[in-house]
């Protein structure tokens, strides 16, 4: 049996929506983008949703819109995909990392305040693997110190903490739609915000800095080509119609894994905070007992046709980050320990019980 790490869930409805665009004469900045944005806006309950070509672009536009720039410090997590740091490195701001909670793997909110200085401009928490951060505490700190907040919910569309949808409390939040996400547009991202000015700036900058005058060659500011095409938006709009169904299916896959893997000594299954009122699973990451050889373990999985991948390699230990800032192993010990023993195993919406049994039985044999 060969089981991939991820897989998309595409139906005839998605194909019909994409074909509708192909049979039209509007391929960019058209009605499908408006429909996709409307569906996201209504689903999470925000005033504005701005579609762009990637989650990274979404983060970058928020950084620009919030005035984060050279000399500023941004407090964030080292346990994430590199985009959550790159987005402000593009503007020459400096990362200030806070180690992670050993259970949720999210930024340790209780350790943020000690890292705040007069140079701190913003906090950028990440909802790791789909589990939302306690944003109420983050926003309290932001208000106390007059800081901006960007919530990277790229992996958490549909998740809720204390009944509050991920991505909606900050000055701006982002979702992403790469093929391994809950829903996909192949490539794409979405900015959500309740701030009119931030929304206007992001809309302008995603399309070469054009203003709201309607004149195509009128550019009010420096901008980028971060537009989301009508084809991608059509795919996203169709997927949004099935988001609750997709989340439910992924929850069932996660629960089957939880039941089986919790019985295997040496394996730690994901911990979900009791205040997470709705979990939208992005990936399923297990952690091996300290002292176990993850590389050897992964090699054995691959030999049995089971795809797997380290999740995450810490950002501060990426070669370019070490070169730029001199970070080293041991700077963030919890992150170092968790990342050295964690790996993602196959997880997607339509993973079958037979495939799950094969993965879990193989893991038991390897252990």
Confidence band, pLDDT 50/70/90 cuts, at residue 331: very high
Digit-coded pLDDT (tens) for 36-85: 999 999 999 999 999 999 999 999 999 999 999 999 999 999 999 999 99
Rounded Cα gap, residues 191 and 220, in angstroms: 21
Architecture per CATH, 243-366: Alpha-Beta Complex (3.90)
Q: What is the pLDDT at residue 217?
A: 87
Distance set, CA 228 to CA 81, 203, 215 (Å): 21, 11, 20
Architecture per CATH, 12-240: 3-Layer(aba) Sandwich (3.40)
Q: What is the pLDDT at residue 214?
A: 66
Q: What is the pLDDT at residue 291?
A: 93
Question: Given a cut of 90, is residue 315 above it in pLDDT?
Answer: yes
Rounded Cα gap, residues 253 and 356, in angstroms: 8
User: What's the whole-number mean pLDDT along residues 81-100?
Assistant: 98
Digit-coded pLDDT (tens) for 243-252: 999 999 999 9
Digit-coded pLDDT (tens) for 221-262: 999 999 999 999 999 999 999 999 999 999 999 999 999 999
- How many CB atoms neighbour CB 331 within 10 A? 16
DSSP secondary structure string, 267-336? Answer: EEPPP--TTEEE-----EEEEEPTTS-HHHHHHHHHHTTB--EESPPPGGGSHHHHHHH---TTSSHHHH
Q: What is the pLDDT at residue 56?
A: 98
The chain-wide mean pLDDT, for the chain, equals 97
Q: What pTM, to 2 d.p., does this model score?
A: 0.97
Digit-coded pLDDT (tens) for 295-304: 999 999 999 9
User: What's the whole-number mean pLDDT along residues 126-148?
Assistant: 98
User: What's the whole-number mean pLDDT along residues 336-347?
Assistant: 98
Confidence band, pLDDT 50/70/90 cuts, at residue 282: very high
Sign of the CA dihedral running 40, 41, 46, 49 = positive
Q: Which two tokens stand for residue 193?
A: 């915000």
Rounded Cα gap, residues 172 and 52, in angstroms: 14
User: What's the whole-number mean pLDDT along residues 338-366?
Assistant: 98
Question: Given a cut of 80, is residue 89 above it in pLDDT?
Answer: yes
* β-strand partners of 122: 74, 148
What is the SS3 assignment for 123? strand
For the chain, the domains span: 12-240, 243-366
Q: What is the pLDDT at residue 211?
A: 86
């Amino acid at each position: 049996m060969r089981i991939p790490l991820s897989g998309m869930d595409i139906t005839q409805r998605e194909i019909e929506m994409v074909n509708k665009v192909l049979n039209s004469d509007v391929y960019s900045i058209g009605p499908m983008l408006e429909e996709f944005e409307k569906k996201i806006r209504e689903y999470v309950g925000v005033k504005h949703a701005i579609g762009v070509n990637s989650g990274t672009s979404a983060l970058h536009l928020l950084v620009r819109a919030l005035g984060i720039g050279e000399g500023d410090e941004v407090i964030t997590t080292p346990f994430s995909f590199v985009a959550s740091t790159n987005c402000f490195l593009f503007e020459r701001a400096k990362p200030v990392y806070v180690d992670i909670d050993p259970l949720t793997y999210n930024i340790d909110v209780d350790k943020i305040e000690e890292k705040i200085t007069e140079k701190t401009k913003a906090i950028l928490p990440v909802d790791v693997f789909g589990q939302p951060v306690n944003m109420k505490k983050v926003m309290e700190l932001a208000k106390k110190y007059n800081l901006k907040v960007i919530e990277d919910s790229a992996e958490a569309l549909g998740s809720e903490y204390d009944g509050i949808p991920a991505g909606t409390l900050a000055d701006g939040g982002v979702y992403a739609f790469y093929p391994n996400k809950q829903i996909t547009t192949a490539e794409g991202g979405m900015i959500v915000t309740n701030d009119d000015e931030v929304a206007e700036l992001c809309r302008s900058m995603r399309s070469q800095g054009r203003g709201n005058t309607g004149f195509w060659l009128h550019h009010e500011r420096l901008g980028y080509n971060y537009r989301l095409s009508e084809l991608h938006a059509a795919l996203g709009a169709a997927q949004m119609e099935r988001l609750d169904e997709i989340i439910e299916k992924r929850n069932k896959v996660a629960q089957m894994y939880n039941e089986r893997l919790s019985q295997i000594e040496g394996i730690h299954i994901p911990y979900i905070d009791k205040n997470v009122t709705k979990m939208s699973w992005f990936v399923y990451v297990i952690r091996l007992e300290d002292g176990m050889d993850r590389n050897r373990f992964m090699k054995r999985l691959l030999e049995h046709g089971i795809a797997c991948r380290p999740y995450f390699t810490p950002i501060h230990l990426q070669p370019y980050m070490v070169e730029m800032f001199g970070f080293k192993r041991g700077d963030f010990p919890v992150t170092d320990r968790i990342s050295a023993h964690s790996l993602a195993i196959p997880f997607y919406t339509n993973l079958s019980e037979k495939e799950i049994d094969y993965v879990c039985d193989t893991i038991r044999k390897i252990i």
